[in-house]
């Protein structure tokens, strides 16, 4: 298929999935500002000792923190099928990857909760490479039990996602910004990230959604445990 | 390797990651990552390319010194110079 046709096909596929999502899924949205000073300092120290071939990205810490937080709020991890919630077997995170020719794709990073950061980094690198080369397996598209979108360093400050059916939640990370923050009663300049949750109200409610974001925030304050 | 050589090697590495980039359209004195859409994974891949092709390992602490293409070339020239 010519690149232009592929791009058109992809737009149609995204359009169909997102239309279905907005038609069928009663979304609710929550967001939380997460101080990232500890995670950034931990990462800088970890990468100091690593050659460029083994360096970690903040996105990997965020994915692992999402997986851990989902352990506490499992009703966000899984599928809405046949009128009921079906919990995911393991946390398989669909990682939204923007493609250079336009469009995006969200293949699964499998079993995120049980892998260490180095392994996740290797697998994420491989996943992004294969997504851009167009060599993903079809099972990788159907495996995800939740999606994470990370707008990264060139992105916006916050993103409120559209859930990819039949999943029941999408977590978004905005660009890290340095802003005034109060830490122990004292103002300081702190790197901050806005994390958001779009979730299916048929499967969960705002109370559990808020617990998830709180849990996520706390996990990112203890990067050494990720 | 002179500046022109280093610059064309760096551009070739960027193009291997972002094929849509046209060398002539790049402003060497303007922030690179604003002209070329490079996310953090792309950026890491650029550095991996530099590591593989020029055998220069750029520590994360130096990322802030690589804002423009001119910065990048000057940085690599200094690194390659010290080794030779």
Long-range contacts at B6-14 (CB < 8 A, ≥ 24 apart)? B6/B54, B6/B73, B6/B76, B6/B77, B6/B80, B7/B69, B7/B73, B9/B53, B9/B54, B10/B50, B10/B69, B10/B72, B10/B73, B10/B76, B11/B69, B13/B46, B13/B49, B13/B50, B13/B53, B14/B38, B14/B46
Two tokens, residue B6: 């280093």
Cβ within 8 Å, pair A152-B39:
yes
Q: How confident is the model over B42-62, as a mean pLDDT?
A: 92
Side-chain half-sphere exposure of B52, counting CA atoms within 13 A = 9
Cβ within 8 Å, pair B41-A124:
yes
Q: What pLDDT score was predicted for residue B82?
A: 59
Asked whether the beta carbons of A60 and A120 are under 8 A apart, the reply is: yes
Report, in angstroms and rounded to the nearest whole number, the Rg of chain B calculated over CA atoms: 12
Q: A131 CA to chain B: closest CA distance, Å?
A: 13
Q: What is the mean pLDDT of chain A?
A: 94
Chain B residues closer than 8 Å to A128 by CB:
41
Domains and CATH numbers, chain B: 3-83 (1.10.1200.10)
Which residue did the predictor score with more confidence, A32 or B3? A32
Asked whether the beta carbons of A190 and A48 are under 8 A apart, the reply is: no
Task: Encode pLDDT of A98-145 as tens digits.
Answer: 888 888 999 999 999 999 999 999 999 999 999 988 889 888 988 999
Cβ-proximal residues to A130 (8 Å cutoff; 6+ apart), any chain: A107, A136
Residue ranges covered by each domain of chain A: 3-225
Is 3.30.559.10 the CATH number for A3-225?
yes
Q: What pLDDT score was predicted for residue A28?
A: 98
Task: Encode pLDDT of A74-84 as tens digits.
Answer: 999 999 999 99
Supply the ipTM of this predicted assembly: 0.84
pLDDT band at A57 (very low <50, low <70, confident <90, very high): very high
Two tokens, residue B51: 């590591």
> Is A89 touching B (CB cutoff 8 A)?
no
> Is A142 touching B (CB cutoff 8 A)?
no
């Amino acid at each position: 298929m010519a690149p232009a046709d592929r791009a058109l096909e992809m737009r149609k596929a995204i359009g169909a999935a997102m239309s279905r999502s907005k038609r069928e899924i009663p979304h609710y949205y929550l967001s939380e500002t997460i101080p990232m000073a500890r995670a950034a300092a931990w990462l800088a120290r970890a990468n100091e000792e690593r050659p460029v071939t083994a360096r970690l990205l903040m996105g990997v810490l965020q994915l692992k923190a999402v997986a851990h937080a989902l352990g506490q709020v499992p009703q966000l991890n899984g599928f809405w099928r046949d009128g009921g919630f079906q919990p995911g077997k393991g946390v398989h995170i669909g990682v939204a990857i923007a493609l250079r020719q336009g469009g995006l794709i969200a293949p699964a990073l499998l079993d995120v909760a049980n892998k260490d950061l180095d392994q996740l980094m290797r697998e994420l690198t491989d996943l992004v490479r294969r997504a851009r080369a167009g060599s993903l397996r079809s099972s990788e598209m159907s495996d995800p039990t939740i999606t994470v979108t990370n707008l990264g360093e060139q992105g916006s400050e916050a993103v409120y996602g559209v859930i990819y059916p039949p999943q029941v939640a999408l977590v978004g990370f905005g660009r890290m910004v340095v802003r005034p923050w109060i830490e122990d009663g004292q103002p300081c300049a702190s790197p901050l990230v806005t994390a958001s949750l779009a979730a299916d109200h048929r499967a969960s409610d705002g109370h559990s959604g808020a617990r998830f974001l709180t849990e996520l925030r706390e996990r990112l304050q203890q990067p050494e445990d990720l | 390797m002179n500046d022109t050589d280093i610059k064309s090697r760096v551009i070739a590495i960027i193009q291997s990651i972002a094929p849509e980039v046209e060398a002539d359209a790049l402003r060497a004195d303007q922030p690179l990552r604003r002209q070329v859409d490079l996310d953090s994974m792309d950026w890491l891949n650029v550095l991996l390319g530099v590591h593989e092709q020029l055998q220069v390992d750029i520590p994360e602490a130096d990322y802030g010194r690589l804002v423009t293409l001119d910065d990048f070339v000057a940085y690599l020239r200094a690194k390659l110079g010290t080794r030779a």
